[in-house]
Amino acid sequence: MNKLAQKDDSDQTVASEDQDEGLAQFEKDLDLALSETVEKEVDRQIDEELDKKTEELLRT
């Protein structure tokens, strides 16, 4: 019975490590997606401001 308990503990440890690796990968993917989204939004806002300034300059 003791060997069975040890196997269960070993299986749980492996499952926990797999879960930790999966979580770490998810966090990396999430960070990348977030940074890409922020970068796109910043680029959009910069383009918007440049368009406004360009229009103002063309009117004068």
Express each pLDDT in 26-35 by its tens digit: 999 999 999 9
**Helix-strand-coil percent breakdown of the chain, rounded to 5?**
95, 0, 5
Question: Is residue 45 in some structural domain?
Answer: yes
Question: Is residue 1 in some structural domain?
Answer: no
- Whole-prediction pTM value? 0.59
- Identify the sign of the CA torsion 39, 40, 44, 45: negative
Question: Is residue 50 in some structural domain?
Answer: yes
pLDDT at 17: 81
Question: Is residue 6 in some structural domain?
Answer: no
The predicted model gives 22-47 an average pLDDT of 97
Domain count, the chain: 1
Question: Is residue 22 in some structural domain?
Answer: no
